[in-house]
A = this chain, B = another copy of it.
Amino acid sequence: MQNMDIDELVALMKKRDRRATSRLISLAESDMAAARAISTRIFKDTGKAYIIGVTGAPGSGKSTLVNQLITLLVNKGKRVGVVCVDPTSPFSGGALLGDRIRMKEDYPPGQVFIRSMASRGKLGGVARATKDTISILDAFGVDIIIVETVGVGQNEIDIFTLAYTTLVLLAPGMGDEVQAFKAGIMETSDIYVVNKMDHDGADRLVGEIESMLDLADTVEMDHGEDHVVVEVRKQVKAGWRPPICKTNALTGDGVDALWAAIEKHRSHLTKSGEFARKNRNKFRQEIIDILREKFALHVEEALDLTRNGDLPALLDEIAARKKDPYTASDGIGKKIADAFKS
């Protein structure tokens, strides 16, 4: 019955029905079984959209810049999808308590599809749901998908694996901004954007990024075993030194040049064979995300099952220091393995 509904929705989506598309995204987001049913039906229609990641600290002007990019693309006659996984973005509805929406543009109907992800209250499902949303928008037929995410923590690695071109936004006068970014996000960037180019310190910020890129070219850093970071280093070695674009997202200054840099990167990916490698890496990560969410669901199930059974007693034993958490986790682990098998 649910599968029948999905069949109908997919058929409508192929006729460019926005509401059906929106409904499919909601289904995929909330229910992994539905996501699977959708993916098996639409996956063959994906692979056409170009995916751009935009990341940066709150206050760097991400949403304003995304607005400018949307306008530029709409003027070029492109269909644009925006996926927002940034809890601080006005696109995503932003904060909890009745944020005003700062988005100013009204886009022509049918050409722009903006979707925000519910990133809260999920056990590892955001990455998986984001990728399913991108696939649905891709099959829906947008040309460009912009994924906006706040650039701290695991997000920066996630966005690197799902986007073909990742923009990292920085702005002068944000205190320790370079400090904050150095420790991870900087390396995931294909293009640096120094926004608020009219503010004091913009050129100094450009200089700092240049210095870091110089260092990164020469210094061999110890990154441990992380697969994604290894990928980044391969990319650097594959001959792309990230350019630095200065923009003023409020006025639109520098946005054309930024778009030119994005197109240059896209062309570099294709010519160098990096595009195919990025895709393989993306799919590898997608498999991990699917398995991880499946696992998280089984953990919740296993803990739920024991909620009125073993769990309270187990937690009491830990609290009394009669059992350590590792020993306590064994029985639950066995239940999860059984669930994974079935």
A residues sitting closer than 8 Å to B (CB atoms) are 35-36, 39-40, 43-44, 46-47, 57-59, 87-88, 94-97, 99, 118, 120-122, 124, 131, 150, 152-155, 174-180, 182-184, 212, 215-216, 219, 221, 223-226, 229, 276, 279-280, 283-284, 286-288, 290-292, 294-296, 299, 303, 311-312, 315-316, 318-319, 321, 324-329, 332-334, 336-338, 340-341
Contacts of A287 in B (CB 8 A): 303, 325, 328-329, 332
**Majority secondary structure, A binding face:** helix
The copy count of this chain in the complex is 2
What separation, in Å, do the CA atoms of A221 and B118 have in the docked complex?
A: 14
Give which listed residue, B121, B318, B340, contacts A229 with CB less than 8 A: B121
Residues A315 and B280 in contact in the complex (CB < 8 Å), given A36-B326, A325-B287: yes
What separation, in Å, do the CA atoms of A212 and B183 have in the docked complex?
A: 32
What separation, in Å, do the CA atoms of A121 and B156 have in the docked complex?
A: 12
Once the chains bind, are A337 and B341 in contact (CB under 8 Å)? yes
Give which listed residue, B43, B219, B299, B321, contacts A325 with CB less than 8 A: B43
Contacts of A290 in B (CB 8 A): 325-326, 329
Once the chains bind, are B118 and A284 in contact (CB under 8 Å)? no
Once the chains bind, are A326 and B121 in contact (CB under 8 Å)? no
Selected A-B contacts with CB under 8 Å, 16 pairs: A43-B321, A46-B321, A58-B179, A88-B176, A88-B180, A120-B224, A131-B325, A150-B152, A153-B155, A280-B312, A280-B315, A280-B316, A287-B303, A291-B295, A294-B333, A340-B340
CB distance from A297 to the nearest CB of B (A): 11
Once the chains bind, are B283 and A318 in contact (CB under 8 Å)? yes
What separation, in Å, do the CA atoms of A216 and B337 have in the docked complex?
A: 40
Give which listed residue, B58, B96, B124, B328, contacts A176 with CB less than 8 A: B58
Give which listed residue, B88, B97, B280, B296, contacts A319 with CB less than 8 A: B280
What separation, in Å, do the CA atoms of A216 and B333 have in the docked complex?
A: 37
Contacts of A284 in B (CB 8 A): 303, 311, 315
What separation, in Å, do the CA atoms of A288 and B95 have in the docked complex?
A: 28
- CB-nearest residue of chain B to A323: B43
